Amino acid sequence: MQTFQQYIGGAFEDADTTFDSRDPATGAPWAKMPAASEADVDRAVTAAEAAFFSPDWAEMTATQRGKLLMRLADLVAENAPRLAELETRDTGKIIRETSAQIAYVAEYYRYYAGLADKIEGAHLPIDKPDMEVWLRREPVGVVAAIVPWNSQLFLSAVKIAPALAAGCTVVLKASEEAPAPMLEFARIFDQAGFPPGVLNVITGGPQAGAALTSHASVAHVAFTGGPETARHIVRNSAENLASTSLELGGKSPFIVFDDADLESAVNAQVSGIFAATGQSCVAGSRLVIQKGIKAEFLQRLKEKAEAVVIGMPQDMDTEVGPLCTLRQRDHAVRLIEASLQAGARLVTGGVVPEGQGYFFPPTVLDCSDAPTAPCLSNEFFGPVLSVVDFETEAEAVEIANNTAFGLASGVFTQNLTRAHRMIRKIRAGIVWVNTYRAVSPIAPFGGHGLSGHGREGGLQAVLDYTKLKAVWLRTSDDPIPDPFVMR
């Protein structure tokens, strides 16, 4: 059993209580994790607040902040193999994906390192001749960052990097499901040379999350997770009137027209729903397929799904590993059973394999004759694809937008004008055309509806961690003539 510590005020320490983290490939405990108490949360926020006002951080130039972030990026890249190993062990995500993703995470820190000294204010052409007025962008203060277990190093980078670039300080709460990578990241961060308290890393359950998001000294809450937890966070933030950015789930449509390159579309669909064992907020979990190509597409998809290599996540040949928790697997089984009862047809998969661990096979459900099947509206967070067919472009748009979510979408067509029409009409924060699951630190990421609000990645994200200050400077040497008149 390995033991991990929390990171508060630049020091590593044990918590009064711990919990076991389980290896999803075996179901057995493998590590002891600290469970932050309300007192631990308060100390972490207090440390972040002290660091925010400390001259060591508050008076540091933006260029110096950028250099520290660049140093952190280098350390993340150097330690990527260790971080990938831990994420695979703790979450069950295959090593092929964690290795590639964490190596790319360093690019997010590099991007925001470059933006740190490019956060600009503005001069206003004010309508008063004896005034100079300009705007300053200043950091909002202490940021509470809450991340789930899936892709946590990526999902924390898109919060930590812009927040620190803007001059904020951060308390990060890792998921209680699989926090090992974030607690190890704290050790890497500690080597980068930031002042103590600039980043604090804790973990724990709902009690810790509630204490953090309602803390009086927290100015902004950046959250990735599910809509129900987001509702609690919004209620908690009413205590401190903190601003929020919420990156939530999705039920993303993957739309394929009859003129699409079928091989590319099938491969993208396999990646969009079965990669990461379907445990992705942007998973293309609803295949919206034109009727004329449905049979051929599903046959190709079935063959590829049944050829997927399921195995231990540490094996480089494995393409689909276990789900992170037994609860997820049970949730998938229940939804599939309910969908079959509602008239869905099982194309492939759907049966829990024998043996240990939380494994679940790539599964495809044809719901074209079952419009009320719960699999069409509920997020599985697993390798389960729901299929609906259409005849016309208008029908495809209607099906795509028939969801309370609005995070991602994909469109496969060789018709350029049709692609532009679909881009305009689909209600989602991301539209991929003839590709899927592409990300970059340069591009914003986020949605609307039950998929949340705010954006992560890109220039706008760093501005979300700032507040505007208007500065008025009177340039006249004449006395103010009348103190009771606004100037």
The per-residue pLDDT for range 368-421, each reduced to its tens digit, is 999 999 999 999 999 999 999 999 999 999 999 999 999 999 999 999 999 999
Q: Is the pLDDT score of 483 beyond 90?
A: no
From the list 87, 177, 247, 456, the catalytic residue is 247
Tens-place pLDDT, residues 108-158: 999 999 999 999 999 999 999 999 999 999 999 999 999 999 999 999 999
What mean pLDDT value characterizes the chain? 96
Span 9-31, average pLDDT: 96
Q: How confident is residue 486, by pLDDT bands cut at 50, 70 and 90?
A: confident
Domains and CATH numbers, the chain: 2-247+457-471 (3.40.605.10), 253-433 (3.40.309.10)
From the list 85, 97, 281, 324, the catalytic residue is 281
Tens-place pLDDT, residues 413-444: 999 999 999 999 999 999 999 999 999 999 99
- The confidence score (pLDDT) of residue 482 equals 87
User: From residue 94, how far is each of 152, 155, 277, 314, 464 by CA, in Å?
Assistant: 14, 17, 9, 6, 33
- The confidence score (pLDDT) of residue 487 equals 72
d(CA 181, CA 363): 29
Instruction: Please enumerate in sequence order all residues whose Cβ is within 8 A of that of 323, keeping only pairs 6 or more positions apart, or say none.
Output: 24, 92, 277, 279, 329, 332, 358, 359, 360, 382
Report percent pLDDT > 90 for the chain: 96
281 catalytic, yes or no?
yes
- The confidence score (pLDDT) of residue 166 equals 98
Q: How confident is residue 178, by pLDDT bands cut at 50, 70 and 90?
A: very high
pTM: 0.95
* Better-predicted residue by pLDDT, 1 or 180: 180
228 catalytic, yes or no?
no
Span 89-104, average pLDDT: 95
d(CA 358, CA 452): 29
In 123-240, alpha helices (H): 152-166, 180-190, 206-213, 227-237
Amino acid at the residue 71: R
E strand map for 355-442: 363-366, 384-390, 410-412, 432-433
Q: Is the pLDDT score of 53 beyond 80?
A: yes
What's the distance, CA 468 to chain centroid?
A: 26
DSSP helix/strand/coil, 360: coil
Sign of CA dihedral 228, 233, 236, 238: negative
Q: How confident is residue 261, by pLDDT bands cut at 50, 70 and 90?
A: very high
Q: Left (φ > 0), alpha (ψ -120 to 50) or beta: where does 159 sit?
A: alpha
E strand map for 204-297: 218-224, 243-247, 253-256, 286-290
- The confidence score (pLDDT) of residue 1 equals 87
- The confidence score (pLDDT) of residue 349 equals 96
- The confidence score (pLDDT) of residue 88 equals 96
Q: What is the largest CA-CA distance in the chain?
A: 87
